[in-house]
């Protein structure tokens, strides 16, 4: 067996995973991590470092791995070694937190909710993605079909093995509605664990697909009129190990605290979506009749809502208070899971601080309902809403947010002359 490397990585503002490797175990045991460059945070989705970014050629950082955020990737060739993959904080060279580190942004959100309200969030990410053969041919099979499922049997068995061996708690793997579309869901976990797993899961899926001569893409859309690939984030609130999301006799069965938390997300939704669905094509997906998130509201068991109150399963008289959760449906894989979750947690904290309430839990179809606020129709509209929302802006280090807005605005300009089909193809090539 060859000597294994450890790859130490971060997830950046365009949700790409980048990093460096060193020999295992030395590089982990040293505790000093590997070198990193501030301007790497200004990388665009399609390549280069954004001109005029806040960092320039200056400075040095360390990517300091977290031993708890690790996955083992199998060898890519016979007798090769497996690769140990670690997620890292970006730290200053004296070990202090780097103010622009996206993982630190999530840490701060988790800590603030805990400090102010003694509330912890359990989270489960659902990921949709599309598979094709490496030669470009289709997987085939019916929507939700057993044939589609069997057509990728080797891939899915290997995926299950890797997820289990790494303790990721896979819950379901399913053929989805779109052509070649599949979905994998992981069980609920504490917020940062869930976000770390979301980042690693995407790499595991892409890597496993490649080893079986398949190509996986998490791009939000493969074509403007095709079925979207969503990332749905299931959230439940806990205090000292007890669930506090459910209340028997209240509207939608939301406890007063859960209602305020949801109201916080609704209040800032038009700005928040820029941070959870951050590409040029994300907003083709976030439209009515796509079962993505066609309108800003909280609704009961409705797949068009930004926030969906999930069903309470009582077949085996389960304790519904433990499984009850709210699903945020407007994320996609062009957004960094640390930023997505940190943003949602900050929004929930704001809702709790203001004791916000929800006027109406939508029980009707969204279309024509007076209780639904429209989604931004483009990323630029969402970025403008973000720029005007001083509360959302206050959650971020100003340089982090400025860099994010610049990258994504540049991206809009870069793709401006392309047709919607061409834009989708660009994202498919990198996500």
Applying the rule CB under 6 A, the residues between 284 and 323 that interact with ligand GLU are 285, 291-292, 303
Tell which one of 12, 128, 196, 259 touches ligand GLU (CB under 6 A). 128
Residue 183 or 267 with smaller CB distance to Mg ion? 183
Candidate segments 35-43, 224-232, 360-368, 423-431, binder of ligand GLU by CB under 6 A: 224-232
Residue 391 CA to chain centroid, in angstroms? 22
Applying the rule CB under 6 A, the residues between 149 and 188 that interact with ligand GLU are none
Contact residues for Mg ion, defined by CB under 5 A: 183
Task: Give me the least distance between CB of 267 and Mg ion, in Å please.
Answer: 27
Q: How far apart are CA 362 and CA 372, in angstroms?
A: 8
Task: Give me the least distance between CB of 230 and Mg ion, in Å please.
Answer: 6
Candidate segments 36-44, 138-146, 222-230, 348-356, binder of ligand GLU by CB under 6 A: 222-230
Q: How far apart are CA 366 and CA 424, in angstroms?
A: 27
**Residue 66 contacts residue 43 (beta carbons within 8 Å):** no
**Residue 7 contacts residue 203 (beta carbons within 8 Å):** no
Task: Give me the least distance between CB of 186 and ligand GLU, in Å please.
Answer: 15
200 CB contacts (<8 Å, ≥6 apart)?
A: 69, 71, 85, 87, 166, 168
258: closest CA among 321, 305, 311, 203?
321
Task: Give me the least distance between CB of 232 and Mg ion, in Å please.
Answer: 7
Residue 217 or 292 with smaller CB distance to ligand GLU? 292
The CB-side HSE value for 133 (13 A sphere, CA atoms) comes to 8
| Strands of 134-227, DSSP E | 170-175, 181-186, 189-190, 214-217
* The pair of three-digit structure tokens given for residue 47, joined into one six-digit string: 């390549």
Q: How far apart are CA 393 and CA 350, in angstroms?
A: 12
Residue with tokens 């869930």: 194
Angle formed at CA 409 by CA 378 and CA 195, multiple of 5 degrees: 80
Which does residue 285 touch among Mg ion, ligand GLU, none (CB within 5 to 8 A, set by kind)? ligand GLU
Task: Give me the least distance between CB of 23 and Mg ion, in Å please.
Answer: 40
x-marked contacts with ligand GLU along 325-344 as a string, rule CB under 6 A: ----x---------------
Residue 53 or 334 with smaller CB distance to ligand GLU? 334
Residue 166 or 292 with smaller CB distance to Mg ion? 292
Which does residue 291 touch among ligand GLU, Mg ion, none (CB within 5 to 8 A, set by kind)? ligand GLU
**Residue 299 contacts residue 327 (beta carbons within 8 Å):** no
Task: Give me the least distance between CB of 130 and ligand GLU, in Å please.
Answer: 11
CB atoms inside a 10 Å sphere around CB 140: 12
Kindly list the distances between the CA atom of residue 84 and the CA atoms of 33, 70, 74, 182, 299, in Å, as whole numbers in the listed order. Answer: 14, 7, 9, 26, 42
Residue 40 or 183 with smaller CB distance to Mg ion? 183
Tell me: does residue 40 bind ligand GLU (CB under 6 A): no
Which does residue 5 touch among ligand GLU, Mg ion, none (CB within 5 to 8 A, set by kind)? none
Residue 31 or 143 with smaller CB distance to Mg ion? 143
x-marked contacts with ligand GLU along 228-257 as a string, rule CB under 6 A: x-x---------------------------
Q: Identify the DSSP state of 415.
A: H
264 CB contacts (<8 Å, ≥6 apart)?
A: 347, 348, 349, 350, 351, 352, 354, 356
Residue 183 or 304 with smaller CB distance to Mg ion? 183
Binding residues for ligand GLU (CB under 6 A): 128, 227-228, 230, 285, 291-292, 303, 329
């Amino acid at each position: 067996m060859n000597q294994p490397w450890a790859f130490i990585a971060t997830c950046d503002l365009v949700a790409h995973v980048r990093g460096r490797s060193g020999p295992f175990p030395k590089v982990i045991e040293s505790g000093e991590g590997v070198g990193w460059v501030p301007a790497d945070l200004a990388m665009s989705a399609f390549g280069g470092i954004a001109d005029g970014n806040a960092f320039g050629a200056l400075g040095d950082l360390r990517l300091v791995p977290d031993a708890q955020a690790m996955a083992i990737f199998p060898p890519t060739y016979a007798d090769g070694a497996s690769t140990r993959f670690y997620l890292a904080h970006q730290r200053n060279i004296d070990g202090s937190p780097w103010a622009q580190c996206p993982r630190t942004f999530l840490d701060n959100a988790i800590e603030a909710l805990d400090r102010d309200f003694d509330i912890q969030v359990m989270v489960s990410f659902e990921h949709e993605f599309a598979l094709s053969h490496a030669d470009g041919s289709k997987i085939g099979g019916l929507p939700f079909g057993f044939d589609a499922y069997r057509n990728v049997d080797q891939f899915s068995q290997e995926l299950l093995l890797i997820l289990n061996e790494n303790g990721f708690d896979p819950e379901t793997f399913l053929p989805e509605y779109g052509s070649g579309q599949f979905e994998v869901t992981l069980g609920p976990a504490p917020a940062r664990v869930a976000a770390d797993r979301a980042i690693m899961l995407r790499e595991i899926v892409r890597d496993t697909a490649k080893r079986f001569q398949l190509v996986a893409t998490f791009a939000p859309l493969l074509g403007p009129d095709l079925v979207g690939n969503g990332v749905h984030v299931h959230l439940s609130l806990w205090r000292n190990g007890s669930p506090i999301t459910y209340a028997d006799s209240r509207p939608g069965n939301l406890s007063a605290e859960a209602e305020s938390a949801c109201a916080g997300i609704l209040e800032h939704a038009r700005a928040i979506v820029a941070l959870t669905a951050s590409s040029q094509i994300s907003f083709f997906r976030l439209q009515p009749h796509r079962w993505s998130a066609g309108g800003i509201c909280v609704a009961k068991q409705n797949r068009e809502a930004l926030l969906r109150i999930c069903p309470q399963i009582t077949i085996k008289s389960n304790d519904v208070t433990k499984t009850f959760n709210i699903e945020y449906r407007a994320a996609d894989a062009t957004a960094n899971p640390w930023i997505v979750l940190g943003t949602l947690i900050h929004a929930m904290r704001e809702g709790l601080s203001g004791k916000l309430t929800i006027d109406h839990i939508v029980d009707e179809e969204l279309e024509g309902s007076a209780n639904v606020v429209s989604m931004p129709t483009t990323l630029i509209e969402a970025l403008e809403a973000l720029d005007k929302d001083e509360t959302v802006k206050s959650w971020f280090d100003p340089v982090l947010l400025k860099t994010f807005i610049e990258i994504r605005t540049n991206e809009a300009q870069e793709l401006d002359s392309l047709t919607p089909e061409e834009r989708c193809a660009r994202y498919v090539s990198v996500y």
